[in-house]
Amino acid sequence: MNDHFEISLVKEPKVEFGGDFICDDPKMGIGVGSFYSQSSNSHKSEINIAVISTEQLVTDSLKWIKNFENRIVATETVLKEKYGTVRDGEIDDEDEIDDLIEFEYEENQEFIKQEEEKIINKKYNPDFLGFNSETQLNCVFQNNEANNRFVKQRELNKILEDTDLKQLEKLDAVIDMIVSQFTDLIENKVSAVDICYIIIPTKVFTQLHSIRYSKTHINLRRKLKAKLIAIENTIPTQIVMEATIKGTKKSMQDLSMTAWNFCVASYYKAGCIPWALQVKDVDTCFIGISFNKVISAENNMLRSSVAQAFNREGQGLVFTWKNFLWDDEANKTRAPHLEYNYAKDLIKFVLGEYKKINHHTPARVVIHKTTDFWDYNDSQEHNELGGLKDGITAELGEDVKMDFVTIKSSAVKIFRNFGIYPVPRGTSMKIDDSECILYTTGYIPYFELYPGRHMPHPLHLKIFESDSHLDKICGEIMALTKMNFNNCSYFDSLPITIRFSKKVGEILQYLPEDAKPQNKYYYYM
Give me the percent of the chain exceeding a pLDDT of 90: 59
Cβ contact 47:231 at 8 Å: no
Q: How far, in Å, CA of 224 to CA of 96, rounded? A: 15
Cβ contact 440:494 at 8 Å: yes
Amino acid at 211: I
At residue 462, what are phi and psi to the nearest 5 degrees? Answer: -140, 125
Mean pLDDT of the chain: 86
Which of 226, 308, 292 shows the shortest CA–CA distance to 91?
292
Which of 293, 391, 398 shows the shortest CA–CA distance to 341?
391
Say what the pLDDT of residue 220 is: 93
* Weakest-pLDDT range from 133-147, 178-192, 273-287, 394-408: 273-287
* Weakest-pLDDT range from 29-38, 319-328, 337-346, 430-439: 319-328
Between the two ends of the chain, the Cα-to-Cα distance in Å is 40
List helix spans (H) across 50-113.
Answer: 55-66
Which regions of 347-425 does DSSP assign to beta strands (E)?
364-369, 401-409
Look at residue 199 and tell me whether its pLDDT is greater than 90.
Answer: yes
Neighbours of 308 (CB within 10 A): 24
Amino acid at 165: L
- In three-state secondary structure terms, 309 is strand
Look at residue 265 and tell me whether its pLDDT is greater than 60.
Answer: yes
If one compares 176 and 115, the residue with the highest pLDDT of the two is: 176
Cβ contact 304:323 at 8 Å: yes
Give residue-wise pLDDT tens across range 52-65. Answer: 999 999 999 999 99
Task: With cut-offs at 50, 70 and 90, classify the pLDDT of residue 500.
Answer: confident
Q: Which residues contact 138 (CB under 8 A, 6 or more apart)?
A: 34, 35, 38, 43, 45
Look at residue 206 and tell me whether its pLDDT is greater than 80.
Answer: yes
Say what the pLDDT of residue 118 is: 72
Which of 291, 353, 309 shows the shortest CA–CA distance to 509?
291
Q: How far, in Å, CA of 482 to CA of 495, rounded? A: 8
Q: How far, in Å, CA of 491 to CA of 489, rounded? A: 5
Cβ contact 372:335 at 8 Å: yes
- In three-state secondary structure terms, 120 is coil
Say what the pLDDT of residue 117 is: 60
Say what the pLDDT of residue 248 is: 81
Look at residue 2 and tell me whether its pLDDT is greater than 90.
Answer: no
Q: pTM higher than 0.85, yes or no?
A: yes
Cβ contact 369:385 at 8 Å: no
The strand pairing partners of 427, in sequence order, are 9
* Weakest-pLDDT range from 4-18, 23-37, 59-73, 94-108: 94-108
Give me the percent of the chain exceeding a pLDDT of 70: 89
Task: With cut-offs at 50, 70 and 90, classify the pLDDT of residue 326.
Answer: confident
Give residue-wise pLDDT tens across range 71-127. Answer: 999 987 766 665 666 766 666 655 443 333 333 323 233 333 333 467 778 888 999
* Weakest-pLDDT range from 99-103, 218-222, 388-392, 482-486: 99-103
What is the pLDDT averaged over residues 163-181? 96
Q: What is the dihedral of CA 244, 247, 249, 251, to 10 degrees?
A: 120
- In three-state secondary structure terms, 313 is coil
Alpha carbon distances (Å) from 94 to 282, 437, 500:
31, 21, 11
b/e code 492-508 from CB counts within 10 Å (16+ = b): bbbbbbbbbbbbbbbbb
Angle at 239 between CA 409 and CA 178, to 5 degrees: 135
